[in-house]
Structure 1
Amino acid sequence: MVSFAYMHSSTSVLTWSLALAAACAYAIPAARIGETAARTSLGIAWALHAAFLAWGLLGEAPHFGFASALSITAWLMLTVYGVEQQLFPQLRTRALLGLLGAATVVLAALFPGMPLQVNASAWLPLHLALGIASYGLFAAAVVHAALMNHAEKRIRLAADQDSGIPLLTLERLTFRFVSGGFWLLTATLLAGWLFGETLYGRHWHWDHKAIFSVLSWLTFATLLIGRARFGWRGRHAVHMLYAGALLLLLAYAGSRFVMEVLLERLG
């Protein structure tokens, strides 16, 4: 097991209270209990999740790690969903977002991560924000791609589409999220390459995090060029999106998971 003492010392009663309250609120839309109740509880969960994240980053003992990154990503996805609901009220992803939100908020309470350095560069939070924002947009793209895949399968079976949004609209939204995430990822990598010494006290170097990040960037760049020049769409495009998202996940969350959990366990 992961060191209980480590988790206990890094996680306050307030942190657990916010995490469990948010998880309970997320459970209502995840269980598909009523339209009105699901909408209301998702809004409450969003606010509790935000408070949980703020306390973890700005509270008495600020921490950040792989679970925090995943939790912020899920929260950003929920924020995107809230905006989309104003434009596409028929969008049906509340149950999935409820499951993701509940899982990531509890995971972040279990594994709060490493203490944030007080003497870190003032620009470091901006760099982290760019990276996490790209995570959020790519995660939203993955969810929309999954809905698009599901809709295509139902069309082939001559069944009614149940995603709530026309297939072509889903496709446009998916690649808008991919484009936005790609430019944020580009800015993140450029900042790390040009200002690595200022941000982290060392120049850019080719570790596993950098390699996976660049491989992810190349995958998304190929996907966007292929779509613009050759009209790539459907399964081929979706599989490339999944591959790029997996590489990006391994780049930060995967490497931090190894350091914070596996190495902690071995130690």
Structure 2
Amino acid sequence: MTNPVMNFLALALYLSAAGLLGLRLARGEVVTGSAKIGILSLGLGAVVLHATLLYTRLWQEHGLNLALTPAFSLVACVIAALYIFTSIIRPVDNLGILIMPIAGLTVLVEWLWPGRMSLPLASSASAVHIVVAILAYSLMCLAAAQSLMLLMQERHLRSKHPGGFIRALPPMQTMESVMFQMIGFGFVLLTLTLISGSFFAEAIFGQPFKLTHHMVLAELAWIVYAVLLVGRWRLGWRGRPAIHWTLGGFALLLLAYFGSKFVLEVILHR
């Protein structure tokens, strides 16, 4: 679907939600009550439009269009949806100032530079594998965004200038707890993704398993997250060490999928 009105409306809703959230956080105000409902409603409207646009662009006659820009847009849409759902049950509203503008940007980029790459779905198992992989990646992205907020909060507290939006953030202990919950759920899904991709590749994709750069980087990310969770459980890791390991694991995941696709599609034109 190349409907410019829907594209601009989705972008406008994402930016409006981020702008309203940013204004309240800049004043150090916690987002609650009707203000929170209004902001999340704008975000939900953007996600619904985003998903509607993606639906007609992703499904092709011979499979899914998972080229670089459609895949990036799909993951951003899922991340935004998870953010809205998580905001209802956990104090992660502040993540919207990072997630919403990026999701809106992917709508614009995918519209202006649509990619084409058909990924055949050999079976229903392949569809499940893709869904689990996207959810795992999305949860780890949310955890990375949370770690950036923690890093800013920690730096403000160290410099003894806890003003501005830092006043609207939950205590660091609460933010760390939420971050590790995201990583824990994401790690389980990432483990399932690697197992299914390694041992059931022929059943899922119709071809034998191959050890690619994508798989190696994803496995390295799995190791980083495993070390982080063990360090948290056995050694009580928190603060900067936890933040750095979280960002390191996500950087590897980012390279594993989008880095590989960028090299193949943009540089090598495959």
TM range (shorter): 0.7 to 0.9
Aligned residue in 2 for 1:193:
198
* Cα displacement (A) at 1:38: 4.3
One of 26, 35, 50 as aligned partner of 2:14? 26
* Cα displacement (A) at 1:252: 1.2
Aligned residue in 2 for 1:70:
72
Deviations 1:125-171 (A, max 9, x none): 11111111111100110111111112212222332433432211100
Q: Is the 8 A contact 1:63 1:116 kept in 2?
A: yes
One of 142, 145, 167 as aligned partner of 1:143? 145
Aligned residue in 1 for 2:49:
48
Q: 1:131, 1:42 → 2: CA distance?
A: 23
* Distance 1:223-1:88 versus aligned 2 partners, 3 A rule: closer
Q: Structure 2 counterpart of 1:170, which letter?
A: M
* Cα displacement (A) at 1:224: 0.8
Q: Is the 8 A contact 1:130 1:188 kept in 2?
A: yes
Q: 1:122, 1:40 → 2: CA distance?
A: 33
* Distance 1:111-1:251 versus aligned 2 partners, 3 A rule: farther
One of 187, 190, 211 as aligned partner of 1:206? 211
TM-score, with length taken from structure 2: 0.83
Aligned residue in 1 for 2:30:
none
* Distance 1:258-1:156 versus aligned 2 partners, 3 A rule: same
Aligned residues: 253
Task: Tell me the secondary structure at the aligned position of residue 111 of structure 2.
Answer: helix
Does residue 57 of structure 1 match 2:45? no
Q: Structure 2 counterpart of 1:22, which letter?
A: A
Gaps of 5+ in 2: 25-34
Deviations 1:6-54 (A, max 9, x none): xxxxxx523x543332112212233348775644432221111111222
* Distance 1:118-1:201 versus aligned 2 partners, 3 A rule: closer
Does residue 219 of structure 1 match 2:224? yes
Q: Is the 8 A contact 1:193 1:203 kept in 2?
A: no
Q: 1:17, 1:198 → 2: CA distance?
A: 41
Q: 2:257, 2:92 → 1: CA distance?
A: 34
Q: 1:218, 1:119 → 2: CA distance?
A: 29
One of 13, 19, 36 as aligned partner of 2:2? 13
Q: Is the 8 A contact 2:68 2:262 kept in 1?
A: yes
Q: Is the 8 A contact 1:220 1:241 kept in 2?
A: yes
* Distance 1:121-1:17 versus aligned 2 partners, 3 A rule: farther
Show the 5 A alignment for 1:55-204. Answer: 55-58=56-59, 62-88=64-90, 91-118=93-120, 120-158=122-160, 159-160=162-163, 161-204=166-209
Aligned residue in 2 for 1:248:
253
Q: 1:201, 1:246 → 2: CA distance?
A: 29
Bigger shift: residues 125-134 or 79-88: 79-88
Q: Structure 1 counterpart of 2:2, which letter?
A: V
Q: Structure 1 counterpart of 2:17, which letter?
A: P
Q: 1:182, 1:96 → 2: CA distance?
A: 22
Gaps of 5+ in 1: 1-11
* Distance 1:27-1:143 versus aligned 2 partners, 3 A rule: same
State, as a whole percentage, how many aligned pairs show the same letter: 30
